[in-house]
């Protein structure tokens, strides 16, 4: 048996969908418990295992938002998650949350209205509609 190191990068190692989902849940629990470095490490590990998915990037961005790194969260969402999946309604929703946190409520509402009109993702639509309840700004 050859003990030579493999040239296969870790991102190509098979990780089951079930394990990834479990890790995502653990990452969000860590965010909720205030465990910033642990949550960041978990989401970065998932990003390494699923480099073509926007979902762990969204998790990392939510972590950044939760701990006040709003500009970093917006960059992750706009420059990474939405590049991987330009149609991700959830990524757009969290980008709108970051935009609002940066002080531009009108732009955030405009994006949420766009999500309501364009998305087929019921979770993204529900999040956008919830965000817009009681807002006096219009598209």
Helix (H, G, I), strand (E, B) or coil at 85: coil
Q: What is the pLDDT of residue 129?
A: 94
Residue 76 DSSP symbol: I
Residue 27 DSSP symbol: H
Phi, psi of 36 (to 5 degrees): -60, -50
Q: What is the pLDDT along the chain (139 residues), one digit of tens a residue?
A: 344 444 444 445 578 999 999 999 999 999 999 999 999 999 999 999 999 999 999 999 999 999 999 999 999 999 999 999 999 999 999 999 999 999 999 999 999 999 999 999 999 999 999 999 976 554 4
What is the CATH superfamily name and number for domain 11-132?
Tetratricopeptide repeat domain (1.25.40.10)
Q: What is the pLDDT of residue 31?
A: 97
Q: What is the pLDDT of residue 134?
A: 75
Kindly list the domain boundaries of the chain, sorted by start residue: 11-132
Return d(Cα 112, Cα 103) in angstroms, integer: 15
Q: What is the pLDDT of residue 15?
A: 85
Q: What is the pLDDT of residue 136?
A: 57
């Amino acid at each position: 048996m050859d003990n030579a190191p493999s040239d296969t990068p870790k991102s190509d190692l098979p990780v089951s969908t079930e394990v990834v989902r479990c890790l995502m849940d653990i990452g969000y629990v860590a965010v909720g418990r205030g465990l910033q470095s642990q949550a960041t490490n978990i989401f970065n590990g998932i990003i390494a295992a699923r480099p073509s998915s926007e979902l762990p990037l969204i998790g990392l961005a939510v972590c950044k938002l939760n701990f006040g790194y709003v500009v970093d969260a917006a960059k992750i969402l706009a420059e990474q998650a939405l590049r991987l999946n330009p149609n991700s309604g959830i990524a757009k929703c969290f980008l709108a949350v970051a935009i609002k946190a940066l002080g531009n409520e009108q732009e955030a509402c405009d994006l949420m209205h766009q999500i309501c009109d364009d998305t087929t993702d019921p979770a993204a639509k529900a999040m956008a509609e919830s965000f817009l309840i009681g807002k006096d700004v219009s598209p």
